[in-house]
């Protein structure tokens, strides 16, 4: 088969799906990964290629400058809107819906540019028509993959990078549309979808937003209760390639703790994203531990002189760092938390909201595999105490082991390949 992955332009969306792409390639299938050049991630295509995958650039860097400008202008503001779902705030799904629609308009504008072309959209459809994929696996933030699949006659499915916020928002939107008292009389997705579909002679079906089925990398106990067809896939940690330092695989003489704010968070929030780096590192300076902090140059400048027990490193893949670590402090991202589960590492989470960080934090805390700090009430003394608990209390390691056992219940990527082959045969046009 020929399989086209259509991903949102960010390495944090690429890394989770790489193991499935490898499994498909290893089974003899042709795999390519298409994405636009309009994201904030300058290493995106290098990271795809370094994973041994073929990248298909879809353009958009110049064409999308105007449509992306409003989003980029507020990207570093702490009060910016996000597509997060807060389990403690019922109304966040509406804000999430508004942000999702804004993202689609910005990254895949239905309006024509010079020559009558739609940036990214037409490039993807043209590629699909020429390459003729059998299956398109598309990011929930890249529903253009569904359009390309329908035009080219391919089967198609969503490939989740985290919690199914799109599925949840869609289900609640349909409930509102069916309720006269809600005041919602027009589908909010229509202004974006209608011109996109009409351009290619297509009508709207729910599969345009939700796929013919959905590949789900999240733990079964975390999933939203939605009436959709999910195919579970085990999360396999992959965090990119790197040249590893010699000290990394030596067993540390004292507990090793990882500190990271995540790759996407670096790109959006610059130096520290509101986290008190200097105060926190000072607060742990007298603890008998080795802290490995993944910091870029801006974050290092903010942190100032580091204590002797804090080692700063620009980047190292978590799947190489976590096996020798006793705990981790992080922002709640799905890629980071998934890697922690795979290596049974207790987690101290400061869930900085972008997508599903609060849901993840509550799940991990509720399962006894970590502790959660309210990002609006960061107190370094409390963080220090919680960190000591993670290292010294065996219950957190037991909770982490339980999460690992849950993860093993999902089929590995190689075991999902026959399922994808069967579903492709059933759904291909």
156 pLDDT band, cuts 50/70/90, is very high
Percent of the chain whose predicted confidence (pLDDT) is above 70: 94
pLDDT at 125: 96
Contacts of residue 51, Cβ cutoff 8 Å, sequence gap at least 6: 14, 18, 21, 22, 238, 240, 241
How does strand 310-313 pair with strand 327-330? unpaired
Minimum mean pLDDT among 17-26, 106-115, 225-234, 336-345: which range?
A: 106-115
414 pLDDT exceeds 80?
yes
310 pLDDT exceeds 80?
yes
Q: Which tokens in the block code for residue 143?
A: 């529903």
49 pLDDT exceeds 60?
yes
pLDDT at 116: 72
Residue pair 407/234 in contact (Cβ under 8 Å)? The answer is yes
273 pLDDT exceeds 80?
no
pLDDT at 267: 41
List, for residues 212-225, the tens digit of each pLDDT value.
Answer: 999 999 998 999 99
Residue pair 347/370 in contact (Cβ under 8 Å)? The answer is yes
pLDDT at 114: 55
CATH 3.40.50.2000 fits 2-234+410-427, yes or no: yes
292 CB burial (10 A radius; 0-12, 13-18, 19+): buried
pLDDT at 75: 64
- Name the more confident of 308 and 268: 308
Superfamily of domain 246-409: Glycogen Phosphorylase B; (3.40.50.2000)
The residue-averaged pLDDT of 402-419 equals: 97
324 pLDDT band, cuts 50/70/90, is very high
352 pLDDT exceeds 60?
yes
> Domain map of the chain by residue range?
2-234+410-427, 246-409
Q: How far apart are CA 281 and CA 427, in angstroms?
A: 54
pLDDT at 74: 67
Residue pair 328/345 in contact (Cβ under 8 Å)? The answer is yes
271 pLDDT exceeds 50?
no
How is 119-170 classified by DSSP, letter by letter?
TTHHHHHHHHHHH--SEEEE-TT-THHHHHHHHHT-EEEEE-SSS-HHHHHH
How is 303-368 classified by DSSP, letter by letter?
H-SPPTTEEEES---HHHHGGG-SEEEE---HHHHHHHHHTT--EEE----SSSHHHHHHHHHHTT
pLDDT at 77: 64
Exposure string for 159-177, b = 16+ CB within 10 A, e = fewer: bbbbbbbbbbbbbebeebe
Q: Which residues pair with 56 in a beta bridge?
A: 34
Beta carbons within 10 angstroms of residue 392's beta carbon? 11
5 pLDDT exceeds 80?
yes
- Name the more confident of 317 and 229: 229
User: Fold match between 2-234+410-427 and 246-409?
Assistant: yes
- Name the more confident of 393 and 73: 393
Q: How far apart are CA 169 and CA 85, in angstroms?
A: 9
Beta carbons within 10 angstroms of residue 37's beta carbon? 19
List, for residues 19-40, the tens digit of each pLDDT value.
Answer: 999 999 999 999 999 999 887 7
pLDDT at 113: 60
How distant is the alpha carbon of residue 81 from its chain centre? 17
178 pLDDT band, cuts 50/70/90, is very high
Contacts of residue 344, Cβ cutoff 8 Å, sequence gap at least 6: 397, 400, 401, 403, 404
Q: What is the reported pTM?
A: 0.92
Average pLDDT, the chain: 90
Per the document, the length of the chain is 429
Q: How far apart are CA 257 and CA 285, in angstroms?
A: 13
Beta carbons within 10 angstroms of residue 105's beta carbon? 17
List, for residues 199-213, the tens digit of each pLDDT value.
Answer: 899 999 999 999 999
236 pLDDT exceeds 50?
yes
List, for residues 60-113, the tens digit of each pLDDT value.
Answer: 888 887 888 777 766 666 667 788 888 778 788 999 999 999 888 888 887 666
């Amino acid at each position: 088969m020929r399989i086209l992955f259509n991903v949102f332009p960010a390495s944090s969306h690429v890394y989770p799906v790489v193991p499935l792409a490898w499994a498909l390639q290893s089974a003899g299938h042709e795999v390519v990964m298409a994405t636009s050049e309009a994201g904030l991630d300058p290493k995106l295509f290098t990271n795809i290629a370094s994973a041994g995958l073929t990248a298909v650039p879809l353009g958009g860097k110049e064409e999308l400058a105007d449509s992306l400008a409003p989003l980029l202008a507020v990207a570093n503001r702490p009060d910016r809107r996000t597509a997060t779902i807060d389990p403690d705030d019922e109304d966040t799904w509406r804000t999430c819906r508004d942000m999702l629609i804004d993202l689609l308009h910005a990254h895949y504008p239905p309006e024509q540019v010079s020559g009558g072309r739609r940036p990214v959209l037409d490039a993807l459809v043209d590629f699909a028509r020429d390459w003729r994929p059998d299956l398109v696996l598309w990011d929930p933030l890249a529903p253009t993959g569904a359009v390309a699949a329908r035009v080219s006659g391919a089967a198609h499915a969503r490939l989740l990078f985290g919690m199914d916020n799109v599925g949840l928002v869609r289900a609640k939107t349909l409930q509102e549309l069916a309720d006269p008292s809600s005041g919602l009389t027009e589908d909010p997705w229509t202004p974006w979808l209608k011109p996109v579909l009409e351009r290619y002679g297509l009508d709207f079906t729910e599969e345009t937003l939700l796929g013919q089925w959905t590949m789900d990398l999240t733990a079964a106990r975390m999933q939203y209760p939605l009436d959709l067809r999910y195919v579970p896939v085990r999360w396999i940690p992959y965090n990119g390639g790197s040249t590893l330092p010699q000290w990394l695989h030596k067993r540390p003489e004292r507990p090793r703790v990882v500190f990271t704010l995540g790759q996407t968070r670096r790109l959006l929030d610059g130096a520290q994203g509101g986290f008190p780096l200097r105060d926190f590192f000072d607060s742990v300076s007298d603890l008998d531990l080795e802290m490995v902090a993944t910091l870029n140059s801006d974050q290092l400048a903010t942190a100032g002189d580091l204590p002797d027990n804090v080692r700063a490193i620009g980047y190292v893949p978590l799947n190489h760092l976590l096996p020798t670590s006793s705990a981790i402090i992080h922002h709640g991202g799905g890629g980071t938390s998934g890697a922690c589960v795979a290596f049974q590492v207790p987690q101290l989470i400061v869930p900085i909201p972008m997508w599903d960080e609060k849901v993840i934090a509550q799940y991990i805390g509720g399962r006894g595999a970590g502790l959660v700090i309210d990002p609006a009430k960061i107190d370094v003394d409390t963080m220090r105490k919680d960190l000591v608990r993670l290292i010294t209390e065996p219950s957190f390691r037991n909770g982490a082991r339980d999460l690992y056992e849950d993860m093993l219940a999902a089929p590995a990527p190689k075991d999902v390949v026959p399922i994808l082959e069967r579903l492709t045969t059933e759904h291909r046009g």
